[in-house]
């Protein structure tokens, strides 16, 4: 089958379009033709290489996919060839202590498709049947492929982990990026007031169009000062920070007494300066979150299928031009998602 893969770590030029063996179909699995995939920051980090993570090479990147079922494996019911499905990229063992209690993202052998296994930037994938989720006929493959990773991540982070409630204030850094776009909309549906931080007027316009209430230009304004002014010096109840090193200190300063600061990543670096006095004196909660369960994906998908939330796709590239898509993501000018068209 056609696939884009890399045999060594490096810049976008290491991405090669070539032939790789098609995946075998196992019991309980479905084989799916990938029509569209989408890009996430993790694709860039894995391509460059992460300290302490050894990836079997060659590696096919891509954590998101939408397409149609080609074949179902032994024991699969409720799905059939031709069904249009999107993929939940979380793989868990189903047996360990954490899986048994329903916390699949804490599975001791948790795997993310495209990180711990070959990914979706190829013609065909095989995946457990429960990871294939049907989507409406009216939705394009490109739109469906933009949904899973960012919406499941945002839902678990805000609703499950940070326990966001109606009437609360939430600050979102990097609010025009993939996860940010999902966070703004989920927070609005939850009844919160949204403070969106982004680095350009164009990005802030997008945040406004998605319902953000307070818009803060990170390059031109003092984020902490704006938050204090808008909240009567109180601070916000919840801060979403997946930017990391560049924003962490400000995140702690923007949180109210007893506030929750939640992180699901660190796109600018993992080792921020941290003044612990902010945490103990004002009794902050620092909360980690990663990916989400099938239910934490189905919840936002229901709202999207009802037209109450939407993905933002700002660029579509053909599979052969995946390197250009990586370059655009690295330039940090993306609004929402970059989608990869794999086959027509």
Q: What is the 3-state secondary structure (H, E, C) of 284-304?
A: CEEEECCCCCHHHHHHHHHHH
Contact in structure between 298 and 133 (CB atoms under 8 Å) = yes
Is the Cβ of residue 152 or residue 194 nearer to Zn ion in the bound state? 152
Q: Is 106 in the site for Zn ion (CB under 5 A)?
A: no
Beta bridge partners of 316: 339
316 binds Zn ion (CB under 5 A): no
Residue among 96, 189, 224, 328 that touches Zn ion (CB under 5 A): 96
DSSP per-residue codes, 220-240: TS-HHHHHHHHTTT--EEEEE
Shortest distance in whole angstroms from residue 29 CB to Zn ion:
18
Distance CA 259, CA 169 (A): 10
CB of 52 to Zn ion, least distance (A): 22
Does residue 93 bind Zn ion (CB under 5 A)?
yes
Find the binder of Zn ion among 87, 107, 206, 255 (CB under 5 A). Answer: 107
Q: Looking only at residues 150 through 209 of this chain, which bind Zn ion when binding is defined by CB under 5 A? A: none
Q: How far apart are CA 62 and CA 88, in angstroms?
A: 12
The answer to whether residue 252 forms part of the interface with Zn ion (CB under 5 A) is no
Instruction: Give the one residue of 85, 99, 113, 227 binding Zn ion; rule: CB under 5 A.
Output: 99
Binding map of Zn ion across residues 31-50, x = CB under 5 A, - = no contact: --------------------
| Residue 270: strand, helix, or coil | coil
294 CB-contact burial (10 Å; exposed 0-12 / middle 13-18 / buried 19+) = middle
Segment lying near Zn ion (by CB under 5 A), choices 101-109, 115-123, 257-265, 312-320 = 101-109
Task: List residues binding Zn ion (CB under 5 A).
Answer: 92-93, 96, 99, 107
């Amino acid at each position: 089958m056609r696939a884009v893969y890399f045999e060594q770590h490096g810049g976008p030029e290491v991405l090669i379009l070539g032939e790789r063996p098609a995946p075998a179909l196992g019991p309980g699995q479905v084989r799916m033709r990938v029509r569209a995939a989408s890009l996430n920051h993790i694709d860039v980090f894995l391509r460059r290489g992460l300290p302490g993570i050894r990836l079997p090479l060659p590696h096919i990147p891509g954590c998101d996919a939408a397409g149609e079922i080609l074949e179902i494996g032994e024991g699969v019911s409720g799905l059939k060839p031709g069904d249009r499905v999107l993929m939940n990229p979380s793989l868990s063992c189903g047996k360990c202590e954490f899986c048994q209690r329903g916390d699949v993202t804490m599975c001791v052998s948790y795997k993310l498709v495209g990180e711990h296994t070959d990914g979706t930037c190829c013609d065909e994938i095989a995946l457990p049947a429960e990871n294939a989720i049907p989507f409406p006929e009216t939705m394009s493959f490109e739109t469906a492929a933009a949904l899973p990773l960012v919406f499941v991540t945002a839902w678990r982070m805000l609703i499950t982990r940070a326990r966001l409630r109606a009437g609360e204030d939430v600050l979102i850094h990097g609010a025009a990026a993939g996860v940010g776009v999902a966070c703004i909309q989920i927070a609005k549906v939850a009844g919160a007031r949204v403070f969106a931080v982004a680095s350009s007027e164009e990005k802030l316009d997008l945040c406004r169009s998605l319902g953000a209430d307070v818009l803060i230009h990170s390059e031109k304004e003092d984020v902490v000062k704006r938050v204090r002014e808008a909240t009567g010096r109180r601070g916000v109840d919840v801060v979403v920070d997946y930017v990391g090193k560049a924003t962490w200190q400000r995140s702690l300063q923007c949180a109210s007494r007893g506030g929750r600061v939640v992180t699901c990543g660190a796109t600018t670096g993992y080792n921020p300066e941290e003044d612990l006095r902010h945490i103990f004196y004002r009794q902050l909660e620092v909360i980690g979150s990663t990916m989400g369960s099938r239910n934490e994906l189905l919840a936002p998908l229901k709202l999207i299928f009802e037209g109450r939330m939407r993905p933002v796709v700002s660029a579509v590239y053909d599979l052969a031009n995946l390197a250009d898509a990586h370059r655009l993501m690295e330039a940090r000018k993306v609004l929402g998602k970059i989608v990869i068209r794999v086959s027509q």
